[in-house]
Structure 1
Amino acid sequence: MMHFYKILFFLTMMLGTLMAISSYSWLSMWMGLEINLLSIIPLLGDSKNLYPAESALKYFITQSLASSILLLAIILSLNLKEFFLETFQFLSIIMNSALLTKMGAAPFHTWFPEVMEGLNWMMGLLMLTWQKIAPMILIFYNYQMSQFLLIIILISTIVSGILGLNQISLRKILAYSSINHISWMLASLLHSQMIWMIYFLIYSIITINLVIIFKIFHIFTLSQLFNSLNFSKSIKFSFLLNFFSLGGLPPFLGFFPKWLVINNLILNKFYFLSILLIVFTLITLYFYLRISFSSLMINFHESFLFPSKKLNFKIFLINFVSLSGLLACSLIFNYF
């Protein structure tokens, strides 16, 4: 049963995000971020989460610190009368650092997997998708292609790949996967906001598919994943293809936004950045494939004591749309 206070805070959380991305001044953007923060804290403190107080406190401290730094940069930029180029670059770095902390990009990422570990799947889905929108668009408003953001993109790909290798918690694996996708989204913002929108939409669809499967079967670790998938071959097949899609393998929908980003980078002569993104994303793809092959190839004993669970038709339809979407997108964009 959905409580009234949850509906209220959920709506104000969405209102805060929309206020931040549609404002004309930095101060009202900061106010939108604060409304979003104050609305999601009661939702994180819900008793259905694994560690509600710990997750809410970690999230609040990190976000309030980032908001304070952002407000400091905004006040300095408004009060400085002689706005030299060096000062502008310095304030831009401070502002972008605060926004990168809010979305959980490396090296400002250490709070993100820990907060994710203490949440249930629905709140984790909000953290992986909706909470990325406002900071990402505000970075686009202040996007100066500097060495700072290039370093952030590269660190995010490297850190997410290496730290995701030794994880057994699926929430942390999805958190590090999100950090990897943040680097691709930042790269997509170089010259085109439309590519970012396509990337974010497709990433959200794939993540929703995975989270729905995890929520239905109460899966939180790899051992639970391997045991639960043996109840139904169709569920195993659906899950594995979504994992391949999240990694960006070519026959699936997840390859399409990466294809667009690489194409855009090469057209704008960012050859070195595109090569490094591809190479370091292979580390992330490696642990996706390792999990998938383990669940496919290793022989687990199937239990006949429990009835086999089935996904309903709607979830299978969403999975089919997301997995066959690359063909549809290729045909549609071919005529533009």
Structure 2
Amino acid sequence: MNPLALSIVMSSLAIGTITTLSSHHWLLAWAGLEINTLAMIPLMTQHHHPRSVEASVKYFLVQAAASALILFSSINNASDTGEWSITNMSNPLSTTTLTIALSMKLGLAPFHFWLPEVLQGLNLMTGLILSTWQKIAPVALLLLTQNSLKPEILLTAGLISALTGGWGGLNQTHLRKILAFSSIAHLGWMVTVLTLSPKLAMLNFVIYLIMTTALFLALKQTSSTKIKTLSTSWQKSPVISSLSVLTLLSLGGLPPLSGFMPKWLIIQELTKQNINTMATIMTLSALLSLFFYLRLSYTASLTTHPGMSNSQTSYNTTSKQPSLLLATTISLSILLLPITPLLT
């Protein structure tokens, strides 16, 4: 993409997110979400491939429908209460439609069907933006309106998302689809605890952003898009490959890695609220996700591609991506568990 066009698109992404984060009026928040959506389309279609064009069309239609629902819920609430404030959502129909709209924006189950297909049609860097930056504004709206939303709907959506994310990723071979189902599962954990403890939900989301960024950058560094190409990553870069395995295990929630922290605290919060059945099902759903993370870890660390010799092969792995960001996110994905008392 032309550098000037890229700078305009990235600036629009930043402006759209900042507008939504800083707004108290529903129309401004809606405008920020629309700027975000429209700025994402050129990034998706920059390679002019049929898969990327298909992904951009699907993304646009889903986001447009979600934005229309947000506009409808805000207008309906304003006609009932006379206020456009984001934090004043008292109309039951408005809160329900808003929850559905934000679930569509985030790709939460049962409105998740677009996310794996769209992410599969993108390159890794655009997929990184879709999986991280594009979720900040909808999550901010969820946090702002969590006092008005119905806990039953959020708990149900979170539970279905955690199960769908774990179950859907089991038979996938494309890494971007696996990461899409991983996103669905992690956001399901966040939504489950949203009304019980917004601070925990925010912690879970931040750690999800860190771990997902680290894994996408590591996959970009080793040019891995399918499970079978992971078996060549050790010959390309042993250090990044071994750290990627730890990041995958952190995404799975294994101690003593950072990803264990939010799952541990969320299950503890659910048991404190006497929601023991849901805590048990959420724990079992984490085992489903852990299966495909272990599958990826095994492929990356303990298998060798049939076309490779036993000796280490020299590759030209020169990358223009910032190595400092990769090193920082991988370190945070692995080493944050000891500071848990400071974050709770």
Give how far 1:165 is off.
Answer: 0.5
Instruction: Give the conservation status (yes or no) of the 8 Å contact 2:166–2:181.
Output: yes
Aligned to 2:285: 280
Equivalent of residue 141 in structure 1, options 133, 138, 144: 144
Aligned to 1:60: 60
The farther-off stretch of 313-322 and 67-76 is 313-322
CA distance in 1 between counterparts of 2:14 and 2:49 reads: 21
Instruction: Give the conservation status (yes or no) of the 8 Å contact 2:69–2:97.
Output: yes
CA distance in 1 between counterparts of 2:70 and 2:113 reads: 19
For residues 39-74 of structure 1, give each alpha carbon's deviation from its aligned partner in whole angstroms, at most 9, with x where no partner exists. 211222211877332121111111001111221222
CA distance in 1 between counterparts of 2:50 and 2:237 reads: 27
The farther-off stretch of 173-182 and 300-309 is 300-309
Aligned to 1:250: 255
CA distance in 2 between counterparts of 1:288 and 1:173 reads: 9
CA distance in 2 between counterparts of 1:39 and 1:317 reads: 27
Give how far 1:271 is off.
Answer: 2.5
The equivalences for 1:86-97 within 5 A come to: 88-97=91-100
CA distance in 1 between counterparts of 2:296 and 2:214 reads: 17
Give how far 1:178 is off.
Answer: 0.2
Q: Structure 1's 264 and 172: CA in aligned 2 closer, same or farther, altered over 3 A?
A: same
Question: What residue identity is the alignment partner of 1:141?
Answer: L
Q: Between Structure 1 and Structure 2, how many residues are aligned?
A: 330
Q: Structure 1's 333 and 71: CA in aligned 2 closer, same or farther, altered over 3 A?
A: same
Q: Structure 1's 321 and 16: CA in aligned 2 closer, same or farther, altered over 3 A?
A: closer
CA distance in 1 between counterparts of 2:81 and 2:173 reads: 53
Instruction: Give the conservation status (yes or no) of the 8 Å contact 1:106–1:179.
Output: yes
Instruction: Give the conservation status (yes or no) of the 8 Å contact 2:232–2:304.
Output: no
Instruction: Give the conservation status (yes or no) of the 8 Å contact 1:235–1:310.
Output: no
Unaligned runs of 5+ in 2: 83-89
Aligned to 2:28: 28
CA distance in 1 between counterparts of 2:199 and 2:10 reads: 27
Q: Structure 1's 318 and 152: CA in aligned 2 closer, same or farther, altered over 3 A?
A: closer
CA distance in 2 between counterparts of 1:39 and 1:163 reads: 29
Q: Structure 1's 74 and 236: CA in aligned 2 closer, same or farther, altered over 3 A?
A: same
Instruction: Give the conservation status (yes or no) of the 8 Å contact 1:235–1:311.
Output: no
Aligned to 1:296: 301
Q: Structure 1's 150 and 228: CA in aligned 2 closer, same or farther, altered over 3 A?
A: same
Question: What residue identity is the alignment partner of 1:323?
Answer: I
Question: What residue identity is the alignment partner of 1:129?
Answer: T
CA distance in 2 between counterparts of 1:74 and 1:36 reads: 19
Equivalent of residue 165 in structure 1, options 162, 166, 170: 170
Question: What residue identity is the alignment partner of 1:307?
Answer: S
CA distance in 1 between counterparts of 2:58 and 2:20 reads: 22
Q: Structure 1's 208 and 48: CA in aligned 2 closer, same or farther, altered over 3 A?
A: farther
Q: Structure 1's 165 and 148: CA in aligned 2 closer, same or farther, altered over 3 A?
A: same
- Structure 2 residue 239 is matched with structure 1 residue 228: no
Instruction: Give the conservation status (yes or no) of the 8 Å contact 2:20–2:29.
Output: yes
The farther-off stretch of 101-110 and 310-319 is 310-319
Q: Structure 1's 11 and 117: CA in aligned 2 closer, same or farther, altered over 3 A?
A: same
Instruction: Give the conservation status (yes or no) of the 8 Å contact 1:113–1:176.
Output: yes
Aligned to 1:120: 123
Aligned to 2:204: 199
Give how far 1:172 is off.
Answer: 0.3
Question: What residue identity is the alignment partner of 2:270?
Answer: L
Q: Structure 1's 78 and 256: CA in aligned 2 closer, same or farther, altered over 3 A?
A: same
- Structure 2 residue 226 is matched with structure 1 residue 217: no
Q: Structure 1's 281 and 24: CA in aligned 2 closer, same or farther, altered over 3 A?
A: same
Give how far 1:109 is off.
Answer: 0.7
Equivalent of residue 109 in structure 1, options 104, 107, 112: 112
Question: What residue identity is the alignment partner of 1:136?
Answer: V
Question: What residue identity is the alignment partner of 1:3?
Answer: P
- Structure 2 residue 187 is matched with structure 1 residue 182: yes
Aligned to 1:320: 331
Aligned to 2:86: none
Q: Secondary structure at the match of 2:182?
A: helix
CA distance in 1 between counterparts of 2:249 and 2:269 reads: 23
The farther-off stretch of 169-178 and 250-259 is 250-259
The farther-off stretch of 229-238 and 215-224 is 229-238
| TM-score, normalization by structure 1 | 0.89
Question: What residue identity is the alignment partner of 2:54?
Answer: E
| TM-score, normalization by structure 2 | 0.87
Identical pairs, percent: 35
Give how far 1:265 is off.
Answer: 2.6
Unaligned runs of 5+ in 1: none
Backbone CA RMSD of aligned residues? 2.6
CA distance in 2 between counterparts of 1:19 and 1:96 reads: 20
Question: What residue identity is the alignment partner of 1:266?
Answer: T
